[in-house]
């Protein structure tokens, strides 16, 4: 889950940067828009007043389609049915769950989820200055749990089933082959030859986003010297619905509860070490995982289906332009440290739907996309900046970084009100500070009555 990133994320929220250096690609600088060799094929949807095209059928794209349809927008969804090969899980925090509940699919996931009732952070760097172990309990902020840990494959399966049952979503199970972004609308040619026209395109097509490129939005991307080994495992000791994140010199190793005596693992290591771990048989890898977790959960048995993902960072210059709005990994990519990825993507969708509602006559207009960009920029820059800074601090052997990390966690671990503030802020931006101000107002009112 990445409990440590909460205090760093809250600190970053106090310094919401308005500028972010972006490397510009020559094509982007010229305002390049991809064009069509041909526009043959039937128009699938051309209701220019309400037509919205969502490109991408990962969790962010499926959620965007459902949320827009739920608010009465006509939606065309473009992309193949998601494959069920992803072994990762996603920890969705309660604010995201609250937003998703009305969309009609959460009840189908009830048996697949595990609640996250506590988050434990352990410094396993072995460096000179080490941070204290800190545990965050949901009960400290009046909650039964922080959120739910959900298998990605099951989440996308349930989302896809819900999309298919939604009459106002026309799902074309074909990739967008070409884009044309014009002043009065956006067009897309699909691989099956169909042509889709809309007022707004929602780019949920991943970190390499062709829609983002077609809109002329520059992006700064950087590969990291890290890879994430992802797997699920059984264990002989109960997890107690506690997620534990071990911070190491190569990145975090995070265990997150699953139903029963099972957990998911995201272990960030150097790419060459990831290759070594992938080559081990199940018994040898189980032993390595057990050692990395300091036998916290007893004997470990790794389940089939391990995967490795190279890590990278990505930040676009804008989050909406030329009839295209970015959500999910088209809008932000950072290391899997603080369970911020899809939670941030849900907030992308939430803000985009609010803007589309406010600009129903033309949700892809310059004014609408400028508003969307302004709404998303502070949140995305703060969250991605805090995660990237935390990741850099783990990789750094500099003594000042070790001292800062240790001092910060010592203060938070020993001061309950500050810990509660950062827990709330980590779940939803602004909520921690809102609670603090409400408490101050209550105290002032009580004082005036005494």
Arithmetic mean of pLDDT, 96-118: 96
Contact between 248 and 293 under an 8 Å Cβ cutoff? The reply is: no
The predicted pLDDT at position 127 comes to: 64
Tens-place pLDDT, residues 168-189: 999 999 999 999 999 999 999 9
pLDDT at 30 over 60: no
- Band of pLDDT at residue 123, cut at 50, 70 and 90: confident
Arithmetic mean of pLDDT, 44-51: 46
pLDDT at 306 over 60: yes
Q: Domain boundaries in the chain? A: 20-104+152-221+312-395
Q: Which residues contact 360 (CB under 8 A, 6 or more apart)?
A: 49, 50, 73
Contact between 251 and 262 under an 8 Å Cβ cutoff? The reply is: no
Among the four given CATH numbers 3.40.830.10, 2.60.40.1220, 3.40.50.300, 3.50.50.60, the one describing domain 20-104+152-221+312-395:
3.50.50.60
Q: What would the 3-class secondary structure string for 72-139 be?
A: CCEEEEECCCCCCCCCCEEEEEHHHHHHHHHHCCHHHHHHHCEEECEEEEEECCCCCCCCCCEEEEHH
The predicted pLDDT at position 374 comes to: 98
Neighbouring C-alpha atoms within 13 Å toward the C-beta of 93: 25
Tens-place pLDDT, residues 200-213: 999 999 999 999 99
* Separation of alpha carbons 273 and 292, rounded Å: 13
Contact between 367 and 375 under an 8 Å Cβ cutoff? The reply is: no
Residue 111 CA: distances (Å) to CA of 6, 37, 41, 63? 28, 49, 43, 20
Q: What is the mean pLDDT of the chain?
A: 84
pLDDT at 120 over 80: yes
- Band of pLDDT at residue 398, cut at 50, 70 and 90: low
The predicted pLDDT at position 86 comes to: 86
Tens-place pLDDT, residues 59-70: 999 999 999 999
Across-strand partners of 320? 325
- Band of pLDDT at residue 101, cut at 50, 70 and 90: very high
The predicted pLDDT at position 128 comes to: 60
Tens-place pLDDT, residues 322-378: 999 999 999 999 988 766 789 999 999 999 999 999 999 999 999 999 999 999 999
Across-strand partners of 252? 247
DSSP state of 109: G
Arithmetic mean of pLDDT, 88-101: 95
- Sequence length of the chain is 450
Tens-place pLDDT, residues 222-271: 999 999 999 999 999 999 999 999 988 899 999 999 999 999 999 999 99
The predicted pLDDT at position 407 comes to: 63
């Amino acid at each position: 889950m990445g409990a440590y990133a909460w205090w760093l994320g809250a600190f970053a929220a106090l310094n919401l940067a308005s500028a972010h250096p972006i490397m510009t690609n020559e094509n982007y600088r010229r305002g390049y828009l991809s064009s069509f060799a041909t526009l043959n094929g039937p128009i699938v949807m051309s209701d220019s007043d309400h037509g919205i095209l969502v490109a991408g059928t990962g969790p962010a794209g499926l959620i965007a389609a459902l949320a827009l349809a739920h608010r009465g927008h006509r939606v065309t969804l473009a992309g193949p049915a998601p494959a069920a090969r992803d072994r990762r899980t996603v920890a969705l925090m309660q604010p995201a769950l609250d937003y998703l509940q009305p969309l009609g699919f959460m009840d189908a996931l009830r048996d697949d989820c595990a609640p996250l009732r506590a988050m434990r952070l352990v410094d396993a760097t072995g460096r000179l200055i080490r941070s204290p172990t800190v545990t965050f309990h949901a009960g400290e902020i009046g909650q039964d749990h922080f959120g739910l840990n959900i298998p990605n494959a099951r989440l996308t399966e349930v989302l896809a089933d819900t999309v298919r049952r939604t009459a106002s979503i026309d799902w074309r199970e074909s990739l967008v082959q070409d884009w044309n972004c014009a002043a009065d609308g956006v067009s897309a040619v699909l691989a099956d030859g169909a042509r889709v026209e809309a007022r707004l395109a929602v780019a949920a097509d991943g970190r390499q986003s062709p829609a983002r490129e077609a809109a002329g939005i520059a992006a700064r991307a950087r590969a990291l010297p890290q890879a994430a080994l992802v797997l699920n495992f059984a264990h002989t000791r109960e997890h107690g619905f506690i997620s534990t994140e071990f911070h190491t010199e190569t990145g975090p190793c995070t265990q997150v509860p699953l139903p029963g005596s099972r957990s998911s693992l995201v272990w960030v290591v150097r790419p060459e070490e990831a290759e070594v771990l992938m080559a081990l048989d199940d018994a040898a890898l189980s032993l390595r995982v057990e050692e990395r977790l300091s036998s916290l959960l007893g004997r470990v048995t790794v389940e089939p289906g391990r995967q490795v993902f190279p890590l990278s960072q990505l930040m676009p210059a804008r989050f909406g332009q030329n009839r295209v709005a970015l959500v999910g990994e088209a809008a932000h990519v950072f290391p899997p440290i603080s369970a911020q990825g899809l939670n941030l993507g849900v907030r992308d969708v939430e803000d985009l739907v609010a803007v589309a509602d406010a600009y129903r006559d033309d949700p892809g207009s310059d004014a609408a996309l400028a508003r969307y960009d302004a709404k998303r920029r502070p949140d995305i820059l703060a969250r991605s900046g805090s995660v990237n800074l935390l990741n850099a601090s783990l990789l750094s052997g500099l003594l000042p970084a070790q001292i800062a990390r240790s001092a910060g966690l010592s203060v938070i671990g020993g001061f309950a009100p500050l810990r509660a503030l950062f827990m709330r802020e980590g779940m939803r931006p602004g909520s921690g500070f809102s609670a603090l101000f409400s408490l101050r107002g209550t105290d002032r009112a009580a004082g005036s009555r005494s």
